[in-house]
Chains A and B, each alone.
Chain A
């Protein structure tokens, strides 16, 4: 038995497949691909798969991963992406399969590309929006309300922005790195929501997760 990790992208229509539905789509793809993977041994036996870091509904990603245990040690891991892709919608593409290097608990941060534009183009020009974004990021603190299991609490996002840069062309681009993982996870939607409030106009943000990193700053593999 071999613990393996497949890496996949989720784009286009795939953005609207929730985390739970992604789980379902993957289970069916594994069934259809006839990959022999380990099943749970309880009363309702099912194929056992796990995901390192859930992706919010509406986000695209270039760096999702899923773990499972292959029962046959002789399977060529390089053949697995093609096998699964034949059984997945085009909006989910597996591009690599390897034995897991890190543990899910090693995940420390994630990087995002956020493309921001006004919901109504007449509200503000891209250049003005870009200037506003830079002004917003220069604020000394960005206080938002974060919902936690224990209720709502005020947090200052400013301290959580590990990296950021801005640019603009047809839309405003915000490149961000935020804490991620089981202990502390900051969803970029919090920051976008705060920016929207700061602007006072309705915004549309297209978010893509572009990287997941460990404490040591290595790419999660």
Chain B
């Protein structure tokens, strides 16, 4: 229930449906009946946050507990923020309409670095002091999880607790500890010290970081009995892992407005640029039985006629065709269409095509990532040109005319020839279309080539690599444009300015907290939105703080440097990442987890693909 006083202002803003809640499936409890109120905050707009699977899982999981009431909070768009600030309306949760100050926990999900300023802005809109040290009591505990928690150092001044890895268990353990400590009248400090003893919990205030004169880290020292390294949590049995059988159903259109069924966590591939491929190791699958049961219930309960079978690489699900056949046994008669996002070029078979094209036919998207075979080997993409061409032929013969190809520029070891090969590969796909005898009659192909700028990330073999400077990236973007000779290819490239800022924060250290605070004080937010982002504003902030952003983005680290995230353990060892980095320099591929074990370290979790029969 939204606060009554906002009603007057709602018609002055775009998409007022973002701010009123009242959706089917929202959980309403009596606040007198619960011990812990948790505000689940997504630091972006409603349409983006409501599309995120993690919030759906944790929202339902928390609310299954009678003593917790979890509500949703999204970042108001700038027009709504203006109204809220002008009329002293604090940021509120959609279910109760209560301001953030009424909550025990204020939890953020860290999906991308450019959302960090929104976290600070949401706290301040909610009337919560942004700095952890200014929040003294055992309430308003600000917690955060999600992929960017793997290097949360740039925002350690603001967040009390980070959750590393899968949240389904650790979040509840911390909430329960809070309930006990609250009842016992303990202090915030006592609670944080006790929480730090729970596996997967990182309390940044309990670690002291010192630096060398050159700005690199000298030591990361735990205090008050906190563990020297914090290990991520991993759910090993996916079939018994909680999965919601219903979603909050948005009243306004959201980005991904469909049912989502998670089919496995992790990825066997080990593409060297891909952070998710390392953070979520090892691969843990759900069984076909479990997927069939959960997915059918989800479609029945939500009324969605489209379900996305979600994972990092759908065609790597070991039972992909049996699963699709099993699902289609009810999905077809019930007019529910199945979609497989994240299909690999080499996983696109006739069998899969038969099962997914039955209901809906959209364009196909593949991510060769690099134009030349040499560079694809260096990044361990393990996709061959003839596989891509064959796959496109299968798709064209099946009636598709639109193919999107995603590439990255600025990858380690890349040359201008590798960059030109992107355009060349696009041309070969166009040629393939015309070589297909039974191609769709009278239609011309649409091939979209998209180039984004590579951002080196923690816990990947490229974590030591410099990012290309912005002038270099722009030159490469133009080089692709000049290399494209056919009008059948549409060429897009992503703005390199935002990639630069992303690179700064992805591998940043605690010194960046100062810049984050100043950026917030200067009113910066929604950095991932072109309407709001200004690189110049950020460069001004860095200058005012005496920070050189190139130190973080464009500097090559040595293998023996202490990295800001070295006290966090995601299961993959630094030794393994070094070996993979050296193999990249030699343009040498590595086998995937099902072919051979490369001893990354994730076997220590005792399950998943590491123990499958090869």
Asked if A18 and B257 make an inter-chain contact with CB atoms under 8 angstroms apart, the answer reads: no
30 residue pairs A–B, Cβ–Cβ below 8 Å: A12-B20, A13-B17, A13-B22, A13-B251, A16-B19, A16-B20, A17-B17, A17-B252, A18-B252, A20-B253, A21-B252, A21-B253, A24-B253, A27-B305, A28-B249, A29-B303, A31-B303, A32-B302, A32-B303, A39-B335, A44-B360, A45-B335, A46-B305, A57-B16, A58-B10, A58-B11, A89-B23, A89-B24, A91-B22, A204-B8
B: contact size bracket: 20 to 34
- Given A88-B24, A90-B22, A91-B22, are A17 and B303 also a contact pair (CB < 8 Å)? no
| A14 touches B (CB below 8 Å) | yes
- Name the CB-closest residue of B to A28: B303
CB A198 to nearest CB in B, in angstroms, measures 20
Residue-by-residue, is A32-73 near B (CB-CB < 8 Å gives 1, otherwise 0)? Answer: 111000010001111000000000011000000000000000
- Name the CB-closest residue of B to A89: B24
- What residues of chain B lie closer than 8 Å to A13, measured between beta carbons? 2, 17, 20-22, 251
| B576 touches A (CB below 8 Å) | no
- What residues of chain B lie closer than 8 Å to A24, measured between beta carbons? 253, 257
Asked if B16 and A16 make an inter-chain contact with CB atoms under 8 angstroms apart, the answer reads: yes
- Name the CB-closest residue of B to A91: B22
| B301 touches A (CB below 8 Å) | yes
CB B304 to nearest CB in A, in angstroms, measures 7
Contact of A14 among B2, B19, B22, B360 (CB under 8 A): B22
Of the candidates B16, B253, B300, B304, the one having the most CB atoms from chain A within 10 angstroms of its own CB is B16
Closest 8 CB pairs of A and B: A32-B303, A13-B22, A31-B303, A13-B20, A28-B303, A16-B17, A16-B16, A58-B11
Asked if B251 and A89 make an inter-chain contact with CB atoms under 8 angstroms apart, the answer reads: yes
Asked if B301 and A32 make an inter-chain contact with CB atoms under 8 angstroms apart, the answer reads: yes
| A77 touches B (CB below 8 Å) | no
Asked if B303 and A18 make an inter-chain contact with CB atoms under 8 angstroms apart, the answer reads: no
Contact of A87 among B19, B21, B24, B257 (CB under 8 A): B24
Instruction: Name the interface residues of B5-29: CB closer than 8 Å to any CB of A.
Output: 7-8, 10-11, 16-17, 19-24
**How many angstroms between the C-alpha atoms of A206 and B361 in the bound complex?**
44
Residue-by-residue, is B235-260 near A (CB-CB < 8 Å gives 1, otherwise 0)? Answer: 00000000000000101110001000
**How many angstroms between the C-alpha atoms of A31 and B11 in the bound complex?**
31
| A137 touches B (CB below 8 Å) | no
Of the candidates B19, B22, B302, B304, the one having the most CB atoms from chain A within 10 angstroms of its own CB is B22
**How many angstroms between the C-alpha atoms of A39 and B302 in the bound complex?**
19
Instruction: Name the interface residues of B190-231: CB closer than 8 Å to any CB of A.
Output: none
**How many angstroms between the C-alpha atoms of A25 and B23 in the bound complex?**
10
Of the candidates B21, B301, B305, B360, the one having the most CB atoms from chain A within 10 angstroms of its own CB is B305
- What residues of chain B lie closer than 8 Å to A164, measured between beta carbons? none
The prevalent SS among residues of B at the interface is loop
**How many angstroms between the C-alpha atoms of A14 and B20 in the bound complex?**
9
**How many angstroms between the C-alpha atoms of A184 and B88 in the bound complex?**
42
- Given A21-B252, A21-B253, are A32 and B10 also a contact pair (CB < 8 Å)? no
- Given A13-B2, A16-B16, are A28 and B304 also a contact pair (CB < 8 Å)? yes
- Name the CB-closest residue of A to B28: A90
**How many angstroms between the C-alpha atoms of A30 and B303 in the bound complex?**
7
Binding site for B on A (CB under 8 A): 12-14, 16-18, 20-21, 24-25, 27-34, 39, 43-46, 57-58, 87-91, 119, 204, 206
- Given A58-B10, A58-B16, are A25 and B251 also a contact pair (CB < 8 Å)? yes
- Name the CB-closest residue of A to B300: A32
- What residues of chain A lie closer than 8 Å to B20, measured between beta carbons? 12-13, 16
- Name the CB-closest residue of B to A17: B251
Of the candidates A16, A43, A204, the one having the most CB atoms from chain B within 10 angstroms of its own CB is A16
Asked if A18 and B24 make an inter-chain contact with CB atoms under 8 angstroms apart, the answer reads: no
- What residues of chain A lie closer than 8 Å to B10, measured between beta carbons? 16, 58
CB B29 to nearest CB in A, in angstroms, measures 16
- What residues of chain B lie closer than 8 Å to A46, measured between beta carbons? 305
- What residues of chain A lie closer than 8 Å to B19, measured between beta carbons? 16
Instruction: Name the interface residues of B260-286: CB closer than 8 Å to any CB of A.
Output: none
- Name the CB-closest residue of B to A58: B11
**How many angstroms between the C-alpha atoms of A184 and B249 in the bound complex?**
35
Residue-by-residue, is B290-306 near A (CB-CB < 8 Å gives 1, otherwise 0)? Answer: 00000000001111110
**How many angstroms between the C-alpha atoms of A20 and B253 in the bound complex?**
9
- Name the CB-closest residue of B to A13: B22
- Name the CB-closest residue of A to B20: A13
**How many angstroms between the C-alpha atoms of A44 and B358 in the bound complex?**
11
- Given A17-B251, A39-B335, are A12 and B22 also a contact pair (CB < 8 Å)? yes
- Name the CB-closest residue of B to A203: B8
Instruction: Name the interface residues of B329-369: CB closer than 8 Å to any CB of A.
Output: 335, 360-361
Contact of A33 among B7, B23, B303, B360 (CB under 8 A): B303
- Name the CB-closest residue of A to B252: A21
CB B308 to nearest CB in A, in angstroms, measures 15
Asked if B17 and A21 make an inter-chain contact with CB atoms under 8 angstroms apart, the answer reads: yes
**How many angstroms between the C-alpha atoms of A43 and B123 in the bound complex?**
48
**How many angstroms between the C-alpha atoms of A28 and B11 in the bound complex?**
26
CB A110 to nearest CB in B, in angstroms, measures 19
CB A151 to nearest CB in B, in angstroms, measures 25
**How many angstroms between the C-alpha atoms of A183 and B251 in the bound complex?**
30
CB B7 to nearest CB in A, in angstroms, measures 8
Of the candidates B7, B8, B304, the one having the most CB atoms from chain A within 10 angstroms of its own CB is B8
Given A91-B22, A119-B8, 9 more pairs with CB closer than 8 A: A13-B251, A17-B17, A27-B303, A27-B305, A28-B302, A29-B24, A29-B303, A44-B360, A89-B24
- Name the CB-closest residue of B to A207: B11
CB B397 to nearest CB in A, in angstroms, measures 18
CB B422 to nearest CB in A, in angstroms, measures 33
CB A45 to nearest CB in B, in angstroms, measures 7
- What residues of chain A lie closer than 8 Å to B2, measured between beta carbons? 13
CB A54 to nearest CB in B, in angstroms, measures 16
CB B253 to nearest CB in A, in angstroms, measures 6
- Name the CB-closest residue of A to B13: A16
- Name the CB-closest residue of B to A204: B8
- What residues of chain A lie closer than 8 Å to B16, measured between beta carbons? 16, 57-58
**How many angstroms between the C-alpha atoms of A202 and B19 in the bound complex?**
22
- What residues of chain A lie closer than 8 Å to B304, measured between beta carbons? 28, 31
